[in-house]
Amino acid sequence: MKIKEIIVVEGRDDTARVRQAVEADTIETNGSAIDEEVLRRIKHAYEKRGVIVFTDPDYPGERIRHIVTNHVPGCKHAFLPKDRARAKRDKGVGIEHASLEDIRKALSEVYELAENMENTILKEDLIAYGLIGGSKANERRKKLGNLLHIGETNGKQLLKRLNMFQITTRQLEEAMEQIVQEENNEQ
């Protein structure tokens, strides 16, 4: 699988793992302390070939994603679920620990941010689906993030991502039906 866009990753190990999975060029941020030179390279890459932000599913990865998005609007985003990015022996989480298949899957399901964000999904929808404010809210958000390939979030981030990535109310409804069905089968 060849990727046209340049993939923004956190470090060398991520680059090595991504290149085992797909044919692609990367830019490494070298952690969450991204300097202006790296941001200039990302902007240049975006203008020439496009960019996919593919960071670890943890706080530093989300911080990098936020910084890049603010400096270079219009980037695409790929997400890897936390449980697919865990090291077997330690508590580390990162792209470098993911299977090649999971990396390919994440990179084949990228999202583009909406230019003119229309909030089609409202906070009330999240409350109605038990995604915020309920005893199962955190677990449901995790499942929804994995199903829709938008990453794990808190309630506020979930609302923003659903609208930012133009998830329709129908897509949300279908995903929640699947989650509720799985919950019912577990009982």
Query: CA 112, CA 50: separation in Å to the nearest integer?
Result: 11
pLDDT of residue 87: 74
pLDDT at 151: 87
The mean pLDDT of 140-161, rounded to a whole number, is 91
Mean predicted confidence (pLDDT) in 158-170? 88
pLDDT at 33: 82
Answer yes or no: is pLDDT of 117 > 60.
no
pLDDT at 116: 58
Whether the pLDDT of residue 39 is over 60: the answer is yes
Task: Write the pLDDT tens digit of every residue in 2-17.
Answer: 999 999 999 999 999 9
Average pLDDT, the chain: 90
Residue 164: per-residue pLDDT: 83
Q: What is the pLDDT of residue 46?
A: 95
Joined together, the tokens standing for residue 45 give 């890459």
Confidence at 115, pLDDT banded by 50, 70, 90: low
Q: What is the mean pLDDT of residues 45-69?
A: 93
pLDDT at 34 over 70: yes
pLDDT at 119 over 80: no
Domains of the chain: 1-113 (3.40.1360.10), 116-187 (no CATH)
pTM of the full structure: 0.75
Q: What is the pLDDT of residues 73-100, one digit of tens each?
A: 889 999 998 888 887 766 688 999 999 9
